[in-house]
Chain A
């Protein structure tokens, strides 16, 4: 049986829950709704049920500790191709070890998921620095990002702590997703493709110019080292950076 879900983390866990209920060994794959299913196997769509997802997470937290949950969520966000089955194997392995989970981090299924989780964690940290807000004419701060992993949901809490008195949006243009914060709590939203550039506030361009000027001045010409810069700041992030325009 191939289980399909809506693409959310809780949707995935619901599918795992149902698959587990039907018998782990008959699960052929757990994938997105849109994926083409093979001719010879049946597929079933699982509606997201927070209750089911919570039961898996709570059990994992209780039996294997917070790190096990953290790895699972971050690895899911890395959106690797074979995440459907790999994460399932991970959950099963973790439940087998229970308290001993942390002593078996180098076991293949756990190791793989940890590497994915690390990928997401690293990109999150990098983008916490590389995110750039622009002030729009209504005072809202707007940030465009094009991350490889789906890091927007895990970046939001950082900015909630840092800019609690502002209205802001983190916009993932690769996935059409966003987090909107209205001075009270952040919400996930889908943002349709808009062609028109948002209207900026009066001072915005002048401030951007000042920043660009500062950025160019602060470099020491006789130490120029493009390779080192690209090491830290890969070119894939340049299009959304104000100083690299």
Chain B
């Protein structure tokens, strides 16, 4: 293979794909087959971290950056002047295997601009997946994009080859969509999601009845929302995520701080991507998925946006002083999850450990509780270890104990 030409194409196509956030390789445990190469680890494995601190787990490229659409926020928009390239399905398969054998990557994340038509593009994606799975007997992780506007039959076929499918919503409301991506409609995006969900449901159902069923998107479907390109409030974004988790059984919603890579009349002029806001959205997302929070609790009509100084869980706790302090030796698992400084793991450990003996304040630390925050919200054997339960005081203490959130902000010396 001519690696120099491939390198040049890879450069163009990975440069165009880098704004896609998702790079996880978890949730699927595909075993290797006889004579095959690769498997998928259910926990997911990160293979390297790029200089922006994001993990690189998959070979994240576009099949092509030719696109018939002209979305204002996108670097690959049809009217934009850019170097264009296309990789054939055979080339993609070869590159993936070469990288995979050397343990550079965990698998392939293939996205694409819409080339000629959505169906035509999806057919090319299917061909790539088929070469990898059937010809090369590749059993590593494959994540592919569902192209908006693809027919149901093609989505169904693609789903049988890949581990994860995702359709990006990008813009969190119809009005933003109309403004920045006039050729796309809400239906266009939501319909393929529905097809994927139906396929997954059917697969799960069949698995119960028959011994061997071809898998269908075993790692579930995901999507991505851009934060900061439109005036939508955090509440709008979070409510959309909640709806996606409830209605289409989304595995994950990714949030991407809008990076001003392109300029346009409809786009906001911002100097820095809103990284802290993105971080808060992820925190809230975790609260919804693992901490049994509801979106209406996290953000209300009066407070439609996040407090950038304090995390959403602490904010909720400060708004609800009537709930606290909780007695750790008696509170239910559900209630423990609501305490800032107690996470899923430590809440589970508390529930297990208190069956043996009463928990003392000192033993909490060993269970993984962050007492720096939790002390203001709990009592232990009836004793309260913070100085006062007054929300204003607690807020001051939480803020003073906090380091600058440097890990999520670009560092600068000047």
Chain A positions near chain B (C-beta within 8 angstroms): 103, 106, 111, 125, 128-135, 141, 143, 158-159, 161-166, 203, 206-207, 209-211, 213-229, 231-233, 241-243
Contact = CB atoms under 8 A, between A and B. Distances in A.
A222 B353 CA distance: 46
B19 A218 contact: no
A129 B102 contact: no
Contact of A219 (B51, B95, B353): B51
Given A130-B47, A218-B60, A224 B7 contact: no
A229 B51 contact: yes
Contact of B52 (A223, A233, A242): A223
B226 to A, nearest CB: 13
Interface string B1-25: 1011011001100110111000000
Interface stretch (B34-42, B80-88, B146-154, B377-385): B34-42
B18 A220 contact: yes
A213 B11 contact: yes
Contacts of B36: 165
> Can you list the 3 inter-chain pairs with the closest CB atoms, starting with the nearest?
A228-B53, A206-B3, A219-B50
A106 to B, nearest CB: 5
Interface of B: 1, 3-4, 6-7, 10-11, 14-15, 17-19, 31-32, 35-39, 41, 43, 45-57, 59-60, 95, 98-99, 101-104, 106, 257, 259-260, 272-273, 275, 353, 356, 363, 366-367, 406-411
Given A130-B48, A161-B32, A218-B60, A209 B7 contact: yes
A65 to B, nearest CB: 16
Given A161-B32, A214-B14, A128 B45 contact: yes
A203 B3 contact: yes
Secondary structure of the B contact surface, majority rule:
loop
A165 B137 CA distance: 11
A220 B6 contact: no
Contacts of A209: 3, 7
B99 A211 contact: yes
Contacts of A206: 3-4, 7
Given A207-B3, A207-B102, A164 B32 contact: yes
Nearest to B352: A103
Contacts of A125: 43, 45
Contacts of B38: 162-163
Contact of B53 (A135, A217, A232): A232
14 contacts: A129-B45, A129-B103, A132-B102, A141-B102, A161-B31, A162-B37, A166-B101, A203-B1, A203-B98, A216-B51, A218-B14, A220-B259, A222-B259, A225-B53
Contacts of A166: 37, 101
A128 B44 CA distance: 11
Given A141-B101, A164-B32, A226 B51 contact: yes
